[in-house]
Amino acid sequence: MKQPLLVICLLCLSGMSLYAQDKTPFHRSTFIKVNPARLINQLEFSVEQELTSRLSLELGIAGIYTDYPDYILARKIDIGQKKPDISTEQFVDGRGLGFSASLRWYLVTQKDDISRAQGTYFQPVLLYKKVFYPNEKINIQGTEYENTGDKDVYAIQFLLGRQITRDRFIIDPYIGLGVRAKVYDYNNFYDNNGVADSRDGRLISVLPSLHLGIKIGLRL
């Protein structure tokens, strides 16, 4: 993940340099968006701030109320990958937060007097998520123990989209590719011939990702 992070940092520095050099006067608009495609497991909001006529900054935050989609990918779809020792109930009841930061370059813009964040864009995205799985109680020989677990997600995405503005309302469909690393940490107890056996585990999964979705929102 270090090389993609370095690339994004260089792109950010380049974008800020363009921002400092661009003296073209125009009203810098702010947009707030929601991603309905993610409602199956999280509520995601993002804010886009125009920096120049072709560059904008977008920051996002997500509240995760279930990790069931990851249960489908990790436990139900078998492509030979290793599987984390996390139970179905823990996946379903997982809670967490997600954060993202990105820069947008508008390649083909539709300029007007109100906003310039319109048209076709390229967007590299950095994303981090933290999911906490609920403790799961287990009884071994009359003694109660708790299985614990959590997950960290690190991702880089490269999106291509087209933002359409109608008065204050915006539609933002996109498609893209990326790489996602998931780090599962867990501690489980097992009945080893009547003796409680504790096992710490860590599973790191790195896989490519495909992104297809749409955001909707308003210009503030």
CATH of the domain at 34: 2.40.160
Q: Are 33 and 46 in contact (CB under 8 A)?
A: yes
Position 75 scores a pLDDT of 73
**Domain encompassing residue 45:** 2-20+29-219
Q: Which amino acid is at 80?
A: G
What's the pLDDT score for residue 118? 81
The closest of 37, 201, 62 to 129, measured between CA atoms, is 62
The domain tally of the chain equals 1
Beta strands in the chain (DSSP E): 30-34, 42-50, 55-64, 95-108, 119-140, 143-166, 169-192, 195-219
Residue 203 CB coordination number (10 Å): 17
pLDDT at 74: 77
- The tokens describing 129, both together, are 């998520």
What is the dihedral sign for C-alpha 86, 151, 65, 208? negative
139: Cβ contacts below 8 Å, ≥ 6 apart: 145
Own/partner pairs, 197-203, CB within 8 angstroms, 24+ separation: 198/145, 201/84, 201/85, 203/82, 203/83, 203/84, 203/85
What H or E segment, with its residue span, contains residue 117? none
Spell out the per-residue pLDDT of the chain, length 220, in tens.
Answer: 545 555 555 555 455 554 445 555 556 889 999 999 899 999 999 999 999 888 999 999 999 999 999 988 877 776 667 788 899 999 999 999 999 999 999 987 665 545 566 889 999 999 999 999 999 998 888 889 999 999 999 999 999 999 998 888 999 999 999 999 999 999 998 888 777 888 889 999 999 999 999 999 999 8
What was the pLDDT predicted at 113?
Answer: 47
pLDDT value at residue 143:
87
pLDDT of residue 82: 79
Q: What residues have CB less than 8 Å from 120, skipping those under 6 apart?
A: 106, 107, 108, 160, 161, 162
Q: Torsion over CA of 203, 204, 209 and 211, rounded to 10 degrees?
A: 70
